[in-house]
């Protein structure tokens, strides 16, 4: 279905949002006619259905991206930059529609979705600026023997796979640097949230992105998409955001042809409240770090470590703030927290909380799901958690804050680092020098000191240990899509 898009405060799914595959600048149904339903997590009802790419569609998308590659790479950096700048402007112009789509298919509140659109659009603006910089270097060899010319050139065709939790931002964080670098792309969005990605494809077309440069292929058969793509010699790069479990499978597959990999994977962020913390800063930052997107964030605070002398104060402050939140359909006015995205996500949250309670944890607020049909889980604060509870080791991905106490900084640093993950961490302390000293010792790629909001397109975002390889955002994000070519010259 090809459709016109309309700006406005409501989203007419029947007329405003494409539901076909976007391949080589055309909207096409799946070659085998396959479709799948997109569910509204607020009521577990189907919103619409979208085309589900089959093997033939994946090959068509690879061919389109490959054929468009030389032409796109030969666009001047300025020409690519201006298209990206236009994409930024269109996202801002249509921010309400995009935000409503995000709320409908993902569940977050409209206010949060608007925040996501702003953040997502910034990647186009940032990489419109970066596209014209950092084209390479030239130097004379220190020995004087020759000249060293280094060019940054596009990697080539990129497979981009994104998760559902930030349907716009996780896409633009990859598409914008890839296009700035001169790469062509195939985006496979999460099956829970394909509508936002398809709508973005429509905006990119309007911004002037040529046919074949961005292809969007939702598919219910994710592993088929990666198998076919990573087996094809025309695909030179995979950039994946999602769970560590799936990241490992993709790394193994990519190793067969030594495909260039960027991996943004899972997290288990510690949030540390030091003895001298300003309690208002601690609670406010904890609310942001925990409750962004109802807790469904890779950098979401997963474990709270609070100095024992401040534990009572922090726990009651956090419980009070969590209790005051209004849970409901994210599309409705006055709602602070929307539903979780699907049944498996809420089931996992429920299991982790139930196990912690069975092991002796005490519930300060929340502690259970709300009866359906949507996937609503109460904002929850738990204390007295035994060390071996799964909730301290696994990514919760829900609105649950488990609080543990500590006595010494060495003890808390050891506990915080006792995980295979290393994405985000937070430290709250009035003595900034001391808080920074703690931050220095934490094994994480992204840290917040005295703040809970840490995402910024201008900053390098990514994990250490099993949280990933590579960085998105900043100048580093562009380099994920370039390869260096060194030429030794005499003249
Ligand atoms: P997921 O790994 O289940 O899925 C991510 C994407 O991979 C989706 O598009 C999915 O369809 C696809 N996929 C699933 N199995 C696949 C396979 N075998 N082969 C190829 N593709 C496959 O993750 P999710 O549930 O969508 O997202 C939540 C996870 O993503 C969490 O672990 C979260 O921490 C992580 N995440 C990380 C970042 C980051 O920047 N580090 C950002 C957001 C989310």
Per-residue pLDDT tens over the stretch 373-393: 999 999 999 999 999 999 999
The Cα–Cα gap between 287 and 301 comes to 9
Distance of CA 242 to the CA centre of its chain: 8
Nearest CA to ligand 1 atom 13: 222
Q: So what's the pLDDT on residue 478? A: 98
The SS3 of residue 112 is: helix
The SS3 of residue 26 is: strand
Nearest CA to ligand 1 atom 17: 223
CA of 264 to the centre of ligand 1 (A): 9
Phi/psi of residue 413, nearest 5 degrees? -65, -40
The SS3 of residue 95 is: helix
Domains of the chain with bracketed CATH: 8-265+467-489 (3.40.605.10), 269-455 (3.40.309.10)
Q: Which strand ranges, in their side-by-side order, compose the sheet holding 301-307?
A: 362-365, 380-383, 400-406, 301-307, 269-273, 424-428, 446-449
Nearest CA to ligand 1 atom 35: 242
The Cα–Cα gap between 195 and 54 comes to 18
Q: Select from 52, 220, 242 the residue to mutate for testing ligand 1; criterion: most ligand atoms less than 8 Å from CB.
A: 242
Query: Which atom of ligand 1 is closest in space to residue 468's alpha carbon?
Result: 41
CA of 17 to the centre of ligand 1 (A): 24
Tokens, residue 150: 């280094």
CA of 163 to the centre of ligand 1 (A): 4
Are 36 and 191 a contacting pair, CB within 8 Å? yes
Q: So what's the pLDDT on residue 207? A: 98
Give which of 303, 350, 294, 299 is closest to 322, Cα–Cα: 294
The Cα–Cα gap between 383 and 386 comes to 9
Question: In angstroms, how far apart are the furthest CA atoms of the chain?
Answer: 76
Phi/psi of residue 360, nearest 5 degrees? 120, 0
Under-50 pLDDT residues of the chain: 1-9
Query: Going by DSSP bridges, is the β-strand pair 362-365/424-428 parallel, antiparallel, or unpaired?
Result: unpaired
Nearest CA to ligand 1 atom 42: 298
Ligand 1 site, CB within 6 A: 161-165, 170, 188, 190-191, 222-223, 226, 241-243, 246, 249, 264-267, 298, 395, 423, 463, 468
CA of 74 to the centre of ligand 1 (A): 33
The catalytic residue positions are: 264, 298
Query: Global pTM?
Result: 0.97
Q: Select from 246, 352, 456 the residue to mutate for testing ligand 1; criterion: most ligand atoms less than 8 Å from CB.
A: 246
How does 102-138 read in b/e, with b if 16+ C-beta sit within 10 Å?
bbbbbbbbbebbbbbbebbbbbbbbbbebbeeeeeee
**Residue showing tokens 């300060």:** 364
Q: What is the DSSP string of 224-277?
A: HHHHHHHHSTTEEEEEEES-HHHHHHHHHHHHHHT-EEEEE----EEEEE-TT-
Query: Going by DSSP bridges, is the β-strand pair 35-40/45-51 parallel, antiparallel, or unpaired?
Result: antiparallel
Distances (CA, A) of 11 to 8, 16, 156, 353, 399: 7, 7, 36, 36, 28
CA of 192 to the centre of ligand 1 (A): 11
Left, alpha or beta for 136 (phi > 0: left; psi -120 to 50: alpha)? left
Nearest CA to ligand 1 atom 39: 264
Query: Which atom of ligand 1 is closest in space to residue 164's alpha carbon?
Result: 26
Tokens, residue 330: 């994210």
Query: Which atom of ligand 1 is closest in space to residue 264's alpha carbon?
Result: 41
Q: Select from 108, 159, 163, 231 the residue to mutate for testing ligand 1; criterion: most ligand atoms less than 8 Å from CB.
A: 163
CA of 190 to the centre of ligand 1 (A): 8
pLDDT digits (tens, 9 = 90+) for 443-454: 999 999 999 999
CA of 209 to the centre of ligand 1 (A): 26
């Amino acid at each position: 279905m090809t459709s016109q898009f309309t700006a406005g405060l409501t989203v007419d799914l029947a007329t405003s949002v494409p539901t076909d595959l976007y391949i080589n600048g055309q909207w096409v149904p799946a070659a085998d006619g396959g479709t799948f339903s997109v569910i509204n997590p607020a009521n577990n009802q189907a919103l619409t259905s979208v085309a589900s790419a089959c093997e033939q569609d994946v090959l068509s998308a690879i061919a389109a991206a490959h054929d468009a590659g030389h032409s796109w790479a030969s666009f001047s950096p300025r020409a690519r930059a201006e298209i990206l700048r236009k994409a930024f402007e269109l996202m801002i112009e249509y921010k309400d529609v995009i935000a409503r789509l995000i709320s409908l298919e993902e569940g977050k509140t409209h206010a949060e979705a608007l925040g996501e659109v702003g953040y997502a659009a910034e990647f186009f603006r940032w990489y419109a600026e970066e596209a014209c910089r950092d084209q390479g270097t030239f130097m004379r060899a220190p020995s004087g023997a020759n000249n060293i010319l280094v060019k940054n050139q596009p990697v080539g065709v990129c497979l981009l796979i994104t998760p559902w939790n930030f349907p716009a931002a996780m896409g633009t964080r990859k598409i914008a640097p890839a296009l700035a670098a001169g790469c062509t792309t195939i985006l496979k969005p999460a099956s829970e949230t394909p509508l936002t990605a398809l709508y973005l494809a429509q905006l990119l077309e309007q911004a002037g992105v040529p046919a074949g440069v961005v292809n969007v292929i939702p598919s219910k058969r994710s592993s088929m998409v990666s198998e076919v793509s990573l087996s094809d010699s025309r695909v030179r790069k995979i950039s994946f955001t999602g769970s560590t479990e799936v990241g490992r499978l993709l790394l193994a597959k990519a190793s067969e042809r030594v495909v260039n990999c960027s991996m943004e994977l899972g997290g288990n962020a510690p949030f540390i409240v030091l003895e001298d913390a300003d309690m208002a800063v601690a609670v406010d930052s904890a609310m942001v770090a925990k409750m962004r997107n109802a807790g469904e964030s890779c950098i979401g605070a997963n474990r709270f470590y609070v100095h024992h002398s401040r534990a009572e104060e922090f726990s009651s402050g956090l419980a009070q703030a969590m209790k005051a939140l209004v849970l409901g359909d994210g599309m409705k006015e006055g709602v602070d927290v929307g539903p979780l995205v699907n049944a498996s996500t809420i089931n996992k949250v429920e299991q982790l909380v139930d196990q912690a309670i069975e092991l002796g944890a005490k519930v300060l607020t929340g502690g259970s799901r709300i009866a359906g049909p949507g996937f609503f889980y109460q904002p929850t604060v738990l204390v007295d958690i035994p060390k071996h509870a799964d909730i301290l080791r696994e990514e919760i991905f829900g609105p649950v804050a488990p609080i543990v106490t500590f006595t010494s900084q060495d003890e808390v640093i050891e506990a915080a680092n006792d995980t295979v993950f290393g994405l985000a961490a937070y430290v709250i302390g009035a003595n900034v020098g001391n808080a920074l000293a703690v931050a220095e010792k934490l094994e994480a790629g992204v840290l917040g000191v005295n703040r809970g909001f840490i995402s910024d397109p201008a900053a390098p975002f990514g994990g250490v240990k099993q949280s990933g390889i590579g960085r998105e955002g900043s100048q580093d994000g562009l380099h994920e899509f370039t390869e260096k070519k060194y030429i030794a010259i005499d003249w």
